[in-house]
Amino acid sequence: MHSRRTVLTTAAAAAAACATGTAPAHADGPALGSRSPSPAVLTRLRGLISRMTPEEKVGQLFVMRVYGHSATAPDPADVEANQKEIGVAHAAELIARYHVGGIIYFGWAHNTRDPHQIADLSNGIQKAAAVQRVPVPLLLSVDQEHGIIARIGAPATLFPGAMALGASGSRDDARTVARIAGEELYAMGVRQDYAPDADVNVNPANPVIGVRSFGAEPQAVAGMVTAEVKGFQGAGVAACAKHFPGHGDTDTDSHVGLPYIHHTPEEWERLDAPPFQAAIAAGIDSIMTAHIVVPAFDTSEDPATLSRPILTGILRERLGYDGVVVTDSLGMAGVRAKYGDDRVPVLALEAGVDQLLNPPDLALAHGAVLNALESGELAWPDIDQKLLRILLLKERRGLFTDPYTTHQAVDRVVGIRRHLATADRIADRTTTLLRNDGGLLPLSRRRERQVLVAGVDAASPSGTGGPPTAVLANTLAGLGFTASALPTGPTPTQAQIDQAVAELRRRDAAVVATYNVTADSAQRKLVAALLATGKPVVQLAVRNPYDIAQLDGVRAGLASYSWTDVELRAAARVIAGQRKPHGTLPVPVMRADAPATVLYPIGHGLTY
């Protein structure tokens, strides 16, 4: 049941019950809104809202990208990009013109060069907000899931990602990861992390979630989500569970298309809902919407981001959530497939959204919301309620008291030795040994001293190190082996395969890093050719753990769940016998020739 997509068979009445909130509510504990602020805080924030102009109110609903390492003096190329895409020169001008409520940091936007620079950027943004007519601090956010999604790289501490943590099975580790990550983000002035991923990855063909999910078992995912929510928010950083109502069972990437989730309400209740219910019970500050269609809940087939039956009927009314709802990026194809960029923000607000994330055309989106308010399509009292939720989140995260940070705060916590050592210890509990026929692992420094490391060099997040074959080779060399790297890429040519075979013939063993191997992948030819030499070959899946099902003849196979340095070093220690493998599969691996048949079940993991 964990890997095959299901077919919609439910009656419309069941969907209507969920969508309208008439189905029984769940007693999951207090929702965010039940943590009532004091009357004095409410009075102050409502007074702040009352002083805002219509343009200022609408601006507070937007969280926007901006190019540059500085709030007022970005590099010329970043000024040019800002003027082309947003019509402003820099972050301070963005705030002055549009009164945005938040800014999201990206590596590709040159926001995250190093921790001191990030802290300076954050301070510059808050100073620009402080001099506005109605000063409101900004909520600065980032996608720092760890694993394959990390916008801030070294020297900040990089941790194993969600599925690796799912393989460890340790909620304590998940909470520790989120606490330390939150402490480091807070020190850099970032008060919201778009994590954890609350999707239950029940579809191995999922191209966008995969290892970003903790796994395929809903209750296990729910436990890990709860742990990370407590870790982040205990460190003063708003957590954000994503992607509601659940993006785990799709074979389409919502960045480039519009996915459909064909779960019945009963299947959604069992598979997708538990992590979000757990996040709400834990008092999560924010929840991100998914650009996915769920016909069982909305027969209009609008994406969930624009669906009132889903966001208001289910999330608000049925699950009782009264925190901030933020869209996934409005520049993604999934939310733009049906409506124009002028209609998307209006429909999202009507559906129940509070924050509009990263529209492709801010001027168009901002103007469209103002026009909808002037025409009466949107109502000011509803907008004021959304603003109050946003301002309460900022209040809860201390932004009205002290939105600034210092270099000293950065130096005290970001990438300190204790945090880096903790990351390595946690990673040592994640590597999963799937197959070890004949006790091939661990490699022996006497028998297999000279090791070739071949395979994929995936693109690591900025500042996380790499490339993977070099990280593996260097770590093995540090453990007493003579190791050399030969990157062959995700689609090795025959010439590259021949070179790898020739290199292996001069060595004792090979480690080959694989990445999302499919039936027609050239990586299969590479592995087969290395095996044909008769030398020991160790296969390491550096993203999804399903590769081994496609690789006949492999005697030793492992999963690291990511190509980032911290996980690759841990895998190398297992290969070398310096650490025993402790991870177990948080998702099933199905047979390649019989996709309905389990090859390795959830919980499978060998040791030695």
Q: Are 306 and 332 in contact (CB under 8 A)?
A: no
3-state secondary structure 394-408: HHHCCCCCCCCCCHH
- CA dihedral of 243, 248, 253, 257, whole degrees rounded to 10: -80
What are 578's two structure tokens? Answer: 């310096």
CB neighbour list of residue 18: distance below 8 Å, 6 or more residues apart: 265, 268, 296, 297, 313, 314, 318
DSSP per residue over 453-517, as a string? EEE----PPTTS---HHHHHHHHHHHTT-EEEEEE--SS--HHHHHHHHHHHHTSSEEEEEE-S-
Of the residues 26, 251, 253, 255, only one is catalytic, namely 255
31 phi-psi bin (left φ>0, alpha ψ -120 to 50, beta other): beta
Mark out the alpha helices in 160-301 (DSSP H runs).
Answer: 162-168, 171-187, 218-234, 265-267, 273-281
Distances in whole angstroms, Cα of residue 331 to Cα of each of 197, 318, 334 = 20, 29, 9
Nearest to 90 by CA among 108, 67, 116, 109: 67
- CA dihedral of 598, 600, 603, 607, whole degrees rounded to 10: 170
Exposed e or buried b per residue across 551-571, where buried means at least 16 C-beta atoms within 10 angstroms of its C-beta: beebbbbbbbbbbbbbbbbbb
Nearest to 178 by CA among 112, 240, 220, 229: 229
Exposed e or buried b per residue across 442-468, where buried means at least 16 C-beta atoms within 10 angstroms of its C-beta: bbebeebeebbbbbbbbebbbbbbbbb
Distance CA 82, CA 100 (A): 15
DSSP per residue over 18-69, as a string? HHHT-SPPP--S--GGGSPPPHHHHHHHHHHHHT--HHHHHHTTEEE----S
- What three-state secondary structure class fits 599? strand
Query: How far is residue 293 CA from its own chain's centroid?
Result: 20
Q: Is-catalytic flag, 285?
A: no
- CA dihedral of 246, 250, 252, 258, whole degrees rounded to 10: -50
Per the listing, tokens 């399509």 go with 377
Q: Is-catalytic flag, 255?
A: yes
Angle between helices 380-396 and 39-50 (to 10 degrees): 130
What are 293's two structure tokens? Answer: 């269609």
Nearest to 276 by CA among 268, 497, 34, 389: 268
Angle between helices 115-130 and 91-98 (to 10 degrees): 30
Q: Omega before 196 cis (within 30°)? A: yes
Indicate the pairing of strand 240-244 with strand 286-289: parallel
Of the residues 114, 328, 428, 565, only one is catalytic, namely 328
Catalytic residues: 255, 328
